[in-house]
Structure 1
């Protein structure tokens, strides 16, 4: 009986996790804003990084590619934190010859770098994100470990640590990247950007 209870509990937890972000925004594109004129205004387009895995590319690898639509999946069940707003996941629908699959975005980490690469991968893993009042893409944070010693590390905030870099998460491309922590990116090709949602 104990085993069946545990199996039932895990199945319930999995179904609740899957159903957490059941509302979906209208489709939109993602555009880079940068002080670098060659990057500014670039639209992010999925690019092949592995089997059913897509990065977010700009530049020559995707020049001339049609603008891609993304969605923001979120839940209306909880009251948003006033400093963060509505939290959800960024999704992209991967279309194949005989399938369509919604892929959530997650960050792919290299343990010897402070630069992570956002990837769309079919499955349950995802990175929670938010959009602010100006439609800028952010990652919400709740604990500031720089304040651990103070005893008050809880500090909900939106972070905008997006960069445009030459990366290799399967192939070498110019992609969107995320810098871990409040430091300059170790990758010397990275240039600071904002990622802005533009509804279709």
Structure 2
């Protein structure tokens, strides 16, 4: 991978993330991706280059990563213990961006966030080196399936009727789609803000936590 950020800047970002990181972490684990309708989709997620110190969440059909590719497909779940959904902890997903050999620190924790486009209802999950210890709020239910945590559903809004206090809800709008990351074009995990997704290549999937 090629990075435009200097090792010193990445080290500074790593120190800030570690200083602010939630007190609890599980992992490493794999993300098993299976099709809801298309049963030929059966593979794993992995961090793929999408820019300088920026990774998308790509999809590879086939077995779990092994050997030198384990870090590519290994993720962590960070949480404070102060927020949950039906007894499932809510936090954020992270991936360790490895730096050049001999660097101190050896890696930068990168939180997953969503990147939105004003012309699409499909958002791209991206992992970036940042001093922001938080990321997109997600969790894993009792079956190990990853969900997005949300409070408010504006599809129920009415004119001049203030919404009632919302109850937290788990959403599972995960898809695998062909997506463009500037100069890259990959089959990768996507999040549909509304259904159905606008991108015609999208296929609905479940994403399940599998401990390494």
| TM-score category (smaller protein) | 0.7 to 0.9
TM-score (norm 2): 0.77
Structure 1 unaligned blocks of 5 or more: 1-14
Aligned to 1:70: 75
Query: Counterpart of 1:53?
Result: 54
Query: 1:195 maps to which residue?
Result: 207
Cα deviation code 1:117-175 (max 9, x no counterpart): 10000111521111100110110111111233353251311000000000012310000
Distance 1:105 1:21 in 2: 14
Q: Secondary structure at the match of 1:146?
A: helix
Over 4 Å off, 4+ runs: none
Relative to structure 1, the CA distance from residue 82 to residue 104 in structure 2 (aligned partners, 3 Å threshold; closer, same or farther) is closer
Residue of structure 2 equivalent to 1:85: 88
Structure 2 residue runs without a partner (length 5+): 1-15
Counterpart secondary structure, 2:210: strand
Whole-Å separation in 1 of the counterparts to 2:22 and 2:146: 17
Give aligned pairs, total: 178
Asked if residue 96 in structure 1 is aligned to residue 103 in structure 2, the reply is no
* Aligned 8 A contact 1:84 1:158 in 2: no
Structure with greater strand share of residues: 2
Note the 1:123-162 alignment, pairs <5 A: 123=130, 124=132, 126-149=135-158, 151-152=163-164, 154-162=166-174
| Local SS of the residue matching 1:88 | strand
Q: TM-score, normalised by structure 1?
A: 0.81
